[in-house]
Amino acid sequence: MKVQRVEEGDEVRRKVDCQGCGQPKIEGDTCDAETAPGKVCGWPQLEIHPTEDGRILIFLPLCPSTNDRQTAARMGRFSRLVLTEEARDYVASVGAQLKPLIVRAIEELGWKPITRWQGVELWTILPRTSADCHNYGKVLFDALEAGGVTWNDKYLMPDYRGLWHDTKIHCLIVKA
């Protein structure tokens, strides 16, 4: 997935390739690219849907892998690991876009943020068969915390329910 950082005032967003048609667009916006005469892609990057059991399904773009989330940085004589720019951008961008959706889920649906140990069901669609779905939890959970799904991501216990591979569509689906 090609990602480009876009700064709009104080807000940091990402320009990504649409998961539906592959055209570049701002993450979180519904794709308005024309795929055929009179046909619009319409693929959303971020969505929340209520479930019958009082939980919510959250559709998110694929985050950077845990393998790609840290890089070494020199601190005087020592070096330490820090988050990569891509991981920081994902957490900031997805967290900022998710926050108003979570507020709406709280107000309109009566959904409550996770404040104690709770399992979250995860479905992943990855771009390569060599990709490991377990490597996407760290950055994803940081973004869910930034978006208000939980106050502390230590309370999220992942329950991987499905894994698919597709070279054009890749995303994460979370049931919280």
The number of folded domains in the chain is 1
Q: Give the ranges where 25-119 is alpha helix by DSSP (H).
A: 85-109
- Rounded distance between C-alpha atoms, residue 169 and residue 9, angstroms: 30
pLDDT score for 1: 47
Residue 19 scores a pLDDT above 60? no
φ and ψ at residue 38, rounded to 5 degrees: 80, 0
Q: Is residue 123 part of a domain?
A: yes
- The rounded distance, in Å, linking the Cα atoms of 170 and 65 is 13
Model pTM score: 0.71
43 to each of 13, 34, 46, 109, how far by Cα in Å?
Answer: 17, 11, 9, 24
pLDDT at 25 over 60: yes
In a domain, 19, yes or no: no
Domain that holds residue 128: 44-175
> Do the domain assignments include residue 136?
yes
Would you tell me the crossing angle of helices 137-146 and 85-109 to the nearest 10 degrees?
50
The CATH code of the domain that includes 132 is 3.30.1330.70
Distance CA 29, CA 5 (A): 15
Residue 112: per-residue pLDDT: 94
Structure-model confidence comparison of residues 43 and 155, the more confident one: 155
Structural domain includes residue 113: yes
**Cα R_g (the chain), whole angstroms:** 17
Specify if 137 maps to a domain: yes
Bridge partner residues of 168 (DSSP)? none
* Distance in angstroms (rounded) separating the CA atoms of residues 105 and 165: 30
Residue 2: pLDDT band with limits 50, 70, 90? low
- Residue in the block written with tokens 């320009």: 15
